[in-house]
Structure 1
Amino acid sequence: MKALRRQSLTRAIQLSLLLSLPGIAAAQDAAAPAQPGSATTLDTVTVTGSRIKQTNVVTAQPVYVLDRSKIEATGLQSVGDLLQQLSSSGKALNAKFNSSGNFGYPPDGGGIGAGSAQVDLRNLGSQRTLVLVDGVRWVNESSASGVSGSADLNTIPLAIVERIEVLEDGASAIYGSDAIAGVVNIITRRKFDGAEVHAYYGEYEDGGETTEASLTIGGSGERWSGIFTASYFEQQEISSGSWEQSRFPTPGTGVRGGSSGIPQGRFFFCDPTRPTTGVGGCDADTENWYDVTLNNGTTTPVFDPTNPNGGTYNQFDLSDRFNFAPYNFLLTPSKRKSIFASATYDLSDDVRLHVKGLYNNRTSTNQAAPEPIFVGPGAGTGGIADTISIHQDNPFNPFGYTLDANSNLLVVTRRPVEVGPRIFHQDVDTTYFNIGLDGTFGIGDRTLGWDANYAHSENKATQEFLNGYNVAKMKLALGDPAICALVAGCTPLDLFGGQGRPMTQDQIDYIRTRQIDSSKQVLDLFQGNITGDLFDIGDRTAGFAAGVEHRRYRGDFNPDPLRQTGESQDSFAAPVSASYEVDEIYTEFSFPVLASLDLSAAIRYSDYSTFGNETTGKVGFRWQPIEDVVVRGTYSTGFRAPNLGELFGLTQFGATLVDPCGSTGRPGPASPDLAAGCAAQGAPPNFVQANTQITTFTGGNPDLQPETSDSWTFGVVYAPSWGTDQAWSDRLDFEVGYYNIEIEDAIQARDLQALLETCLREGGVNSINCTPFTRGAGGNLNPPNNFLDNLGSIKTDGVDIKANWAGPEWSWGRLNASLQSTYVNDYEAVDVDGNRSQREVGIEVDDSAIPEWQTNVQLGWTRGDFNAGWTVRYISSVKEDCDNVPVAGAPGCLGDTEFNELGSTTFNDAQFNWSNAFTEGLKLTVGVNNIFGKEPPVCLTCSLNGYDAGTYDLPGAFWYVSADYRF
């Protein structure tokens, strides 16, 4: 009787979770509902998080699943967009990010990932979320700017997806490295009879048209089945100039206060010919240092050394800074073409051959304002540009003496808008091939299942960069004209004429260059698994799974030769060509120790060619104390091996540092607690930071060790019998789960902003926290080094809440509702020196926020062939530190205000569809996401478009229509 009651609850929860709006897991694998009054025999299924086939969909570990109906209800056409709307999701790359290397490359060696889409669970970074396709690891992305440790979800077309299972728990003991924050398992369509045509069109208020089309054909026979899908996706761009918030870089719009690289030119130098009362004509403390720019409308510069602000020049100030914003993209354009095929053939009654393959091509584009030219030590590149002097005989030099990088020059800048914007084109090819066998065999009265797979996946990319400059040629063109005349094609360069005297075509052609970067990642994988029953414990069975896996990773990054030699005006980057291998063995057990209690355990041994071996384990329980309640929990240890980019990458990054000693719109003196440190470093009291993009040398570390983690979860699932088969409710369930994750030896670079402020508080010199920082001419920071290391710890915990309800069939239709909500209680990252990262719950920093609450609510109505849905997505308020806002007087940070608040935001989506419209098999859908056109909150510290593109939607509503015809 107890077994029947337990089976009854299991079935009720299965139906509730599988058939309610978010419910979804493995519906096609579950047994058909039993007839009233009959006994129920449950099929075994495999659920992400365990390789043991089992009858319990509500397992010890929390799994959230999206089936095709739920996916279609969102109106989204990208796997990445879907996953980034999860309440447990953090910031990850998507098409709203428009950086392609003009800021440089982050320290993890993974590059910018331009045009890719990633997933980040628990705000721990995409590199700590493992992506599987049909239970097999997916290749990491390469967008021609590095060797990444994250998967690009744009390589997986939505048309091939049957469902997506999200394990919201650590799973290194089951799947190996990278599964610290969780696992995303994308299940492809396996069996399909007939043909289906899908067409989609959508558009934002400001443009950004999106079209998608796919064709799926499938069939099956007595011993075989096959499916083929071809799909096409195109998303057009939206210019940043189309939205007021991203069009003007003035205080309060969310974009930093413009750039000091201006079309009129900025000239920060000293006149060595003027007498002074100091020791020398150009000592740092003399009055002969000028920071001037040309007046607007100037055609012929006239400089008066007795009055630097006279003639055609004026003192450079905030009003002169360049508005780069309209040249950027608010939404980057992208095209994707793909084909996918999958087939199975029964070689015998017990053995099946399976084969699948995919080819996906993505082309995408990013754009930035015309490349600014910075020469002189104030350029702060750490390369050739810092050493450039402008010869007195340069025919365009209006000052009559050499601007010498070793004595009287800080920086000369000029942004030649006549060259046109920087354009970055990515072309990415992904291929995947999987072949294997699976089957069953018997030992006594036990039946065991097994599978063996070989998978080869490859992601290779090129990026073409247009309208960049060759710095070595600039140095020659700005030097002695007599030497320039000896070099074929060399033309003296004019940095002094401003917009009134544009560069000539000959000048542009000599310094302009086209750069090609490329990268490739390859994953070869051999895998074998076995699972089945061990023995009976009462009326239930103990199960096990075991397996072995071998993986070989290869990664190559080939930056353009100009980047490698430092001759590119854009960022320096070094090539990477490396590989490593992994051998693993695991085993997993499940024991029903009591009539209401199941225990599980897993252990995995991993041997890496790079650092050695690692062993991880996991234990869990599932307890059903009464018929309506399941209590579950897990404890696991995990690890993440350093990837190839983290081990061997070497690049530069234009870190957007706010110098506390004096920044744009906030000249010195520094605040009292930092003033002594600024003075000790050589920053004068009236110092103004020349450029917020302070180049940082970043890169990998071949001595890195793996990160390790401890995580545990505890949850309760309640499916009340009083909410099942009632007049007001057909199904009802609730779930509350707690998670806690601690990472040690976290692989990261230091938080330079926090480190610089700590250094200055400690006196500015002779402190371990000051090691990366030195200052050059005028007090400007020299490029610091900030390489990766196993630097510290990350801790986070929170609560997930889920609820599902489906009403009975009324005469006017059927209603359903669901809720998914995540509360983040704490997030803390501390490095080995005790410096705490600025990134915390409720804080906006580095274009990334961790909201305390994220909640999604779906409401649905169905009657016959008609369906309507309404979705509400809520993001709680966050705040940003006004000390990180470099523009004084920005609204929200006036006076002594410590934080600017980004208010809570709610997006509303609506959809209506009609099945069998006009003819059988035709489904028509119309919908609007962000139906009320809610705009994201203004972010004063965010770069480029002035809002957090990883947390919020684009401004304005997005409407779409689609048609699906199956025959």
Structure 2
Amino acid sequence: MIDFKKHLLGTTVVVGLAFLSAPAWAQTQTGASASGDKADDDAAAVEEVVVVGSRLRRDNYNSASPVQVVTREDATLAGFASTTEVLQSTAITQGTSQINNAYGGYVTNGGPGANTLSLRGLGATRTLVLLNGRRVAPAGSRGSVGSADLNVLPSAMIERIEVLKDGASSLYGSDAVAGVVNIVTRNDLDGVTVEGQFNAPMDADGAGQQKRYSIVGGTHGDRWNLSGSAEYYQRDELTLGDRDFTRCPTDNYLDGSDYIDPLTGKSKCYSLNAGGVTINTIGTSYMTGVAADGTTATRFNRWRPNSAVTTGLVGFEGVGGTGTNTSVRDTYDADMLNESLISPVEVATVYLQGSYDLHALGNAEVYGEFLYNQRKSSQTDYRQLVLDYAVGSPLIPDNLSSSVFSASDLGLNLGQAVGVRAFIGYGNTTSTQQVDFTKTVGGIRGDFTPLAGWRYDVSASYTRSDSVYTSEQFLIDRLQNSLDVVANSDGTFSCAGGAEGCVAAPALNSQTLAGELPADWLGYVMTDVTGRTLYDEAVLSASIDGPLFTLPAGEVAVFLGAEYREMSIEDIPGIDMQTSNVYNYSTSAITRGDDSVWEVFGEVEVPLLRDMRFAQNLTLSASGRYTDYESYGDDTTYKVGLVYQPVDFLTFRGSYGTSYRAPALFEQFVGATSGYLSSSYDPCNSYGDDGTDARVAANCASEGLAGTFQQTSSVAVVTSGGAENGLEAETSTNLTVGLILQPKLPDSWGELSFAVDYYEIEVDNGVDRIGASSILNLCYASANADFAAGNGYCSLIDRDASSNGLTVYDSYVNVATDVVKGIDYTLRYRKPVGVGTALVNLGVTQMTERYSTLFADDPIYDEVGTIGTPEFTATADFSYAWDQWRVHYGLEWIDGMGYDTYYQKYYGYTLESLGYDAEVGAYLTQNVSVRYEADDWAVTVGVRNLTNQTGDEVSAGVVNMVGNVPLYSGYDYVGRTAFINLSKSF
């Protein structure tokens, strides 16, 4: 909890290197302030404060764990328009991947539009976010809500951000495995400040702009104070068509080859290999016909309209079949460029905090906080519509009446065989979310009069996230009704089944294939499907802290606390989602569950030596927690730390502890949710080829599949919670060892500080899903007798007897081990120069080891250096301040990444040898700004991503991509952006 007695500037709490992994220096060191004198004056006003990483009040701060502090002013100078951007920047995350607004088309925890934070690359559920020392409950949509959504934070009220990159479950409870982020709000405000910020991308024709407007104010009396803020943030959509690098994905092979579209003579944007869909095409049984330019085959099972063709299949040219390059097919539609690259959002936030002195109960004060946040987000997608016309349907033209695409019903034909499959480019659809988040806190704190110097704090809070989410969907039953037609005498068609309101599907012709679909039919087969997600959390906590006794080296301080927390989740998808009535889209069952936990915990700090030769300071700290969850039972965690300062300029520090993470509610109770993998994941594809594992071949043959079998349907993946399978909490250990150098330099040389910290975190019995591809491979490679009996992993797989389609059931289980190790280096140098002060902050993180295994006997494949897991990242901040001016220059650097070294080490070959470009070079972005601050107003102007860097391209098929650039949160897809921030106080 955060305990202030006087107004506190964040830059004077610790010397947090702005946007760097800063160590916690001694209190007498100053931060990134414009004036050293001003910082010293503010430091003198500090009495006692609690900083993340400890629950003890101190008038100085020497932590056994590294703590980073980001100040409000430095966030403004770097041009960040929201707290989300600050927290997801390379400086905080060390380049590891984050869920941000470039993931709108992917299934992510928290649902589309949610932004989460993952420290050390261990995932958002292993990072704890606090607001003024109290948990920020999860928020979002759909069933997998399990982490704090950074959108809910009150950006206008934030004074500083404290980041503990060390496990701390013994201090903060579940989820604090990789670290803790504490958001500290401004306190003791007097007056009103109006602020506005505008960020304008300079290379996107006005798209992707960001705007933030806020008003912050406060007042106080002799016994009370009240402050708060109201703000509005808007980010406009940035589409694939708004940026050059996303307009035309290519194969991008090392030999320079790319498929050239015979129709245009140019590179074929959205080729099949680059992830495009097939449109304006039909699928039939094999027929002889005229070949399209680009193929020399004579028999085809894929065709596109061509009115000039008068022989063979009249009106169509062949684009797929034996000996045909499938990239001949039409895969590009201009509507694809309307897809969201960065999805739009509007966020409105109101925050209030206040206190009142009772002059009773030990000089107690009652206090309260209220946070209301509303997020409105949306995503634009591109949809392919696949219609199956049944054999004998009057909607099929006469020259295709003999075709039999599939002898089985593929889902839309009420048991009839499929004559022709139509691949139609429908166009764009939109998904929307509105999330209303409310958090209320009330408490009382004061002196515990029976014990001198002791204080107590009792509080209660209640949080609710209420989300409504909607998506445009084709409904299966209505598509089935509309495709079952009879011909009328006037050449029109009517629905045969007589379903109410039914509109007959359009006839199969070139207009239909081109996506020119009748409005009345679309109005019948499409609808908005809406679901609702509720997440509630109630917390009751009490604590007491103070000096226990005095040793020669100082007071032994103790903190004791207890907390009760209960949580519940309820996600009710739209009824058509629940009943699997949405076509070619994921489906979801109801998610409903709750959990509760009792905890008692404590911390002690013991000063062992002080002001002795070779022992200026030796302090031991320890903390422990007992936890009892309703869901999985009880557990204990602990942490011990040591700070040793042999001489004034050198400090050693270290800590070792255990952490745990209780499974999130969605991991326990998420309703069965379906998704899809490519048909290529079926292990039985072409299993008769040489080189196929003998057991795989035998198992595939036992299912009656031919050696040349090719899967034509996507692999359905059903995810469900693990509560019924006895899901348990995961445990972890964490070690941090470091040193701080602060040599005493001559005054004219300035001030220098350097720190280096080694860290390692190991998570055991981790909560994870085995993964559909792993289940498939493990099942089909199992002993033939086990396969036949459906034992082990094979019990998680169903193959449809008629269509041969696969369904994999992949629930949450305790299987994984995650390990991350690395070194943080930080340097700070400050020196008076001329009329002002120069300040340099530098931070480098080296990840030395990162791997995950599913089972104890799995081989270890170190992922360091692969895309999304850089070995080195660095940030630097240079500023010069004089009078009322401050000039700033910042850098964010990410080391080159790729897969050639990884594949050579573990598989004996490189992707380069196969013709793929799987490497990206180092990535550097720069930001510059200047700030002028008068008595009651300030202005900051600058540019982010000065050189307009977007990231290097890789070949299609290497990783998920945006254009040909890896989908990776460390890259700035918006590009060069000018910004201005104005504030005025009254």
Task: Identify the TM-score tier after normalising by the shorter chain.
Answer: 0.7 to 0.9
Q: Does 1:364 align with 2:377?
A: yes
Q: Does 1:938 align with 2:953?
A: yes
Map 1:799-878; keep pairs closer than 5 Å.
799-808=823-832, 810-832=833-855, 834-835=857-858, 840-844=863-867, 849-878=868-897
Residue 57 of structure 2 aligns to a residue whose secondary structure is: coil
- Verify the 8 A CA contact 1:662 1:670 in the aligned structure 2: no
Residue 578 to residue 193, structure 1, CA distance change in 2 (3 Å): same
Please list the CA deviations of residues 924-953 of structure 1 after superposition, one character each: whole Å capped at 9, or x if unmatched.
111111100112222442145443232211
Q: What amino acid sits opposite 1:850 in the alignment?
A: T
Residue equivalent to 2:502: 490
Residue equivalent to 1:957: 976
Please list the CA deviations of residues 315-340 of structure 1 after superposition, one character each: whole Å capped at 9, or x if unmatched.
26123152374131111111111111
- Verify the 8 A CA contact 1:880 1:899 in the aligned structure 2: no
Residue equivalent to 1:887: none
Q: Matched residues in 1 for 2:518 and 2:270: separation?
A: 35
Aligned-residue offset at 1:227: 0.8
Q: What amino acid sits opposite 2:471 in the alignment?
A: F
Match of 1:399 among 398, 401, 414: 401
Q: Matched residues in 1 for 2:26 and 2:228: separation?
A: 22
- Verify the 8 A CA contact 1:269 1:410 in the aligned structure 2: no
Q: Does 1:793 align with 2:798?
A: no
Instruction: Indicate the structure whose relative CO is greater, using CA pairs within 8 Å and at least 6 residues apart.
Output: 1
Aligned-residue offset at 1:800: 0.9
Residue equivalent to 2:179: 182
Aligned-residue offset at 1:416: 4.2
Q: Matched residues in 2 for 1:912 and 1:623: separation?
A: 40
Map 1:40-59; keep pairs closer than 5 Å.
43-59=47-63
Q: Matched residues in 2 for 1:322 and 1:170: separation?
A: 48
Aligned length: 889
Q: Matched residues in 2 for 1:764 and 1:371: separation?
A: 39
Please list the CA deviations of residues 516-572 of structure 1 after superposition, one character each: whole Å capped at 9, or x if unmatched.
011011111111111111001104010110111011101110100001011112211
Residue 127 to residue 690, structure 1, CA distance change in 2 (3 Å): same
Aligned-residue offset at 1:581: 1.2
Match of 1:164 among 161, 165, 188: 161
Residue 954 to residue 613, structure 1, CA distance change in 2 (3 Å): same
Residue 646 of structure 1 aligns to a residue whose secondary structure is: helix
Map 1:281-320; keep pairs closer than 5 Å.
291-295=301-305, 311-315=316-320, 317-320=326-329
Q: Matched residues in 2 for 1:597 and 1:780: separation?
A: 69
- Verify the 8 A CA contact 1:677 1:765 in the aligned structure 2: no
Match of 2:477 among 472, 480, 493: 472
Match of 2:914 among 896, 899, 917: 896
Q: Does 1:239 align with 2:254?
A: no
Aligned-residue offset at 1:791: 1.1
Q: Does 1:748 align with 2:753?
A: no
Aligned-residue offset at 1:59: 0.7
Aligned-residue offset at 1:64: 0.7
Residue 706 to residue 429, structure 1, CA distance change in 2 (3 Å): same
Q: Does 1:568 align with 2:570?
A: no
Residue 883 to residue 178, structure 1, CA distance change in 2 (3 Å): closer
Residue equivalent to 2:571: 557
Q: Matched residues in 1 for 2:114 and 2:239: separation?
A: 19
Residue equivalent to 2:278: 262
Q: Matched residues in 2 for 1:34 and 1:216: separation?
A: 23
Q: Matched residues in 2 for 1:320 and 1:20: separation?
A: 52
TM-score normalised over the length of structure 1:
0.84
Please list the CA deviations of residues 455-486 of structure 1 after superposition, one character each: whole Å capped at 9, or x if unmatched.
111111111212x1001221232346487342
Residue 238 to residue 669, structure 1, CA distance change in 2 (3 Å): farther
Q: Matched residues in 2 for 1:265 and 1:780: separation?
A: 24
Residue 294 to residue 58, structure 1, CA distance change in 2 (3 Å): same
Q: Matched residues in 1 for 2:896 and 2:418: separation?
A: 42
Residue 251 of structure 1 aligns to a residue whose secondary structure is: coil
Pairwise CA RMSD: 3.7
Greater Cα shift, 242-251 or 696-705 = 242-251
Q: Matched residues in 1 for 2:919 and 2:158: separation?
A: 39
- Verify the 8 A CA contact 2:960 2:967 in the aligned structure 1: yes
Q: Does 1:351 align with 2:364?
A: yes
Residue 752 to residue 498, structure 1, CA distance change in 2 (3 Å): farther
Residue 679 to residue 203, structure 1, CA distance change in 2 (3 Å): farther
Residue 350 to residue 240, structure 1, CA distance change in 2 (3 Å): same
| Identity percentage of aligned residues | 24
Unaligned runs of 5+ in 2: 1-10, 31-35, 253-268, 289-296, 411-415, 487-493, 611-616, 904-909
Q: Matched residues in 1 for 2:271 and 2:62: separation?
A: 47
Q: Matched residues in 2 for 1:256 and 1:500: separation?
A: 22
Aligned-residue offset at 1:958: 1.2
Q: What amino acid sits opposite 1:930 in the alignment?
A: N
Residue 953 to residue 895, structure 1, CA distance change in 2 (3 Å): same
Residue equivalent to 2:943: 928
Q: Matched residues in 1 for 2:922 and 2:446: separation?
A: 52
Residue 327 to residue 366, structure 1, CA distance change in 2 (3 Å): same
Residue equivalent to 2:491: none
- Verify the 8 A CA contact 1:696 1:783 in the aligned structure 2: yes
Aligned-residue offset at 1:240: 0.6
- Verify the 8 A CA contact 1:290 1:308 in the aligned structure 2: no
Residue 41 to residue 811, structure 1, CA distance change in 2 (3 Å): closer
Q: Does 1:711 align with 2:734?
A: yes
Q: What amino acid sits opposite 1:784 in the alignment?
A: V
Q: What amino acid sits opposite 2:541 in the alignment?
A: Q
Q: Matched residues in 2 for 1:55 and 1:817: separation?
A: 26
Please list the CA deviations of residues 644-663 of structure 1 after superposition, one character each: whole Å capped at 9, or x if unmatched.
11111134454555837799
Residue equivalent to 1:326: 337
Residue equivalent to 1:641: 662
- Verify the 8 A CA contact 1:883 1:898 in the aligned structure 2: no
Q: What amino acid sits opposite 1:786 in the alignment?
A: D
Residue 370 to residue 311, structure 1, CA distance change in 2 (3 Å): closer
Residue equivalent to 2:490: none
Q: Matched residues in 2 for 1:631 and 1:80: separation?
A: 33
Unaligned runs of 5+ in 1: 1-12, 274-286, 376-388, 885-891
Q: Does 1:594 align with 2:601?
A: no
Q: Matched residues in 2 for 1:365 and 1:838: separation?
A: 38
Please list the CA deviations of residues 79-115 of structure 1 after superposition, one character each: whole Å capped at 9, or x if unmatched.
221111144513222122222xxx5x46xxx45x211
Residue equivalent to 1:276: none
Residue equivalent to 2:352: 341
Q: Matched residues in 2 for 1:923 and 1:627: separation?
A: 39
Residue 337 of structure 2 aligns to a residue whose secondary structure is: helix
Q: What amino acid sits opposite 1:361 in the alignment?
A: Q
Residue equivalent to 1:439: 446
Map 1:691-710; keep pairs closer than 5 Å.
694-702=715-723, 703-710=726-733
Residue 688 to residue 80, structure 1, CA distance change in 2 (3 Å): farther
Greater Cα shift, 591-600 or 853-862 = 591-600
Q: What amino acid sits opposite 1:811 in the alignment?
A: G
Residue 520 of structure 2 aligns to a residue whose secondary structure is: helix
- Verify the 8 A CA contact 1:687 1:779 in the aligned structure 2: no
Q: Does 1:914 align with 2:932?
A: yes
